[in-house]
Amino acid sequence: MAREKTSIDWSQYSLRKIDFTIVLVFHLLAIAGIFYITWSSALAAVVLWVFTGMLGITVCYHRLLCHKSFETYPIVRAIHLFAAALSFQRGPLTWSKHHLRHHQNSDQEDDPYFPQHGFWFCHIGWVIFKRKARYKKSFELPQHIKNDRLNLFFEKYNLPIFALSLVALYLIGGVEFVLVAGFLRVVLVLHFTWLVNSWSHRFGYRNFSTTDESSNSPLVAILAFGEGWHNNHHMYPRSARHGMQAWEFDPSFYWIKALEFCGLAWNIQTTTVKAKRLAEQNAQKA
Ligand SMILES: [Zn+2]
Ligand SMILES: [Zn+2]
């Protein structure tokens, strides 16, 4: 399944010095956090892992904003955008731009994660290196993302909100909370998100013959709240349900269904492998 790795022409890339420094400092602080783990700081980290990783990144940035998989009230979206701001994965416009460009060019030259350069470049290299060549295909963020006031607010104040969350963690639990529930949790959630781009385009099984190399990985699905069913997702990007077979555990979808149960989500897009294959067969017969 894994594609041929091409050698990297480093003259085509420049180091993003600020991003590299931030990534390095965050990793050093995360490593320091390992020595400060206590029951209370670990519990805070787990709660924030779910709050930021699932509500913020997978449910809000990915399924709600990028793919319009369901609709909800502005106040519910604002709470989820706040959760995403605490993940330190940039604002909703920037995150969506990277992700939608990935869908537009999956595993091709214009894929912003540079899959042609192997696992690590695709995992973290794209964060710290900038490609000098311009993208060949033009790309526009959809109106519902770039012209929305809430999205623009959280794009602008993303870093101050994150910084305030560290202050809050310090006031609640001191240095150990900042290092464990702050930096260690942020770095782990970053890697869990990056695994969707790297691991889930290399290892795992495929339910569908998509034109890219996306795959379904149970490990990534657990770490990233259902995002590991990435081959299903590339086949049917609008579906709020990524785990399309009964055993494909998808907590982000269960959260969206819980919102629906409470009257807070509607117009949920779903499909299953069975339904999708049936539709394909019918299309072939027609
Ligand atoms: Zn992908
Ligand atoms: Zn997507």
Whole-number Å distance between alpha carbons of 161 and 169: 12
Q: What does the pLDDT look like over 25-75, one tens digit per residue?
A: 999 999 999 999 999 999 999 999 999 999 999 999 999 999 999 999 999
Whole-number Å distance between alpha carbons of 100 and 280: 25
Q: What spacing in Å lies between the alpha carbon of 81 and ligand 1's midpoint?
A: 22
Identify the pLDDT of residue 5: 62
Cβ atoms within 10 Å, residue 16: 15
Query: Which residue type is seen at 57?
Result: I
Pull the structure tokens for residue 78. 């604002």
Ligand nearest to the CA of 200: 1
Average pLDDT of the chain, as a whole number = 93
Whole-number Å distance between alpha carbons of 58 and 64: 8
Identify the pLDDT of residue 6: 67
Whole-number Å distance between alpha carbons of 154 and 95: 12
Residue 234 CB contacts under 8 Å (≥ 6 apart), including other chains: 103, 106, 208, 210, 212, 214
Query: Which residue type is seen at 214?
Result: S
What is the percentage of the chain residues whose pLDDT exceeds 70? Answer: 98
pLDDT bin (cut points 50, 70, 90) of residue 205 is: very high
Mean pLDDT, range 72-96, rounded to an integer: 98
Identify the pLDDT of residue 234: 95
Q: What spacing in Å lies between the alpha carbon of 237 and ligand 1's midpoint?
A: 10
Q: What does the pLDDT look like over 224-240, one tens digit per residue?
A: 999 999 999 999 999 99
pLDDT at residue 283 above 80?
no
pLDDT bin (cut points 50, 70, 90) of residue 10 is: confident
Q: What does the pLDDT look like over 120-132, one tens digit per residue?
A: 999 999 999 998 8
Which residues make up the environment of ion ligand 1, defined by Cβ < 5 Å?
214
Q: What spacing in Å lies between the alpha carbon of 104 and ligand 1's midpoint?
A: 10
Q: What spacing in Å lies between the alpha carbon of 39 and ligand 1's midpoint?
A: 36
Mean pLDDT, range 76-92, rounded to an integer: 98
What is the percentage of the chain residues whose pLDDT exceeds 90? Answer: 80
Cβ atoms within 10 Å, residue 208: 17
Is the Cβ–Cβ distance between 53 and 189 less than 8 Å?
A: yes
Identify the pLDDT of residue 2: 47
pLDDT bin (cut points 50, 70, 90) of residue 117 is: confident
Lowest mean pLDDT across 34-43, 46-55, 214-223, 274-283: 274-283
pLDDT bin (cut points 50, 70, 90) of residue 4 is: low
Length of the chain counted residue by residue: 286
Mean pLDDT, range 140-150, rounded to an integer: 95
Q: What spacing in Å lies between the alpha carbon of 140 and ligand 1's midpoint?
A: 19
Cβ atoms within 10 Å, residue 35: 9
Residue spans per domain, the chain: 12-132+144-285
Reported pTM: 0.93
Q: What spacing in Å lies between the alpha carbon of 32 and ligand 2's midpoint?
A: 33
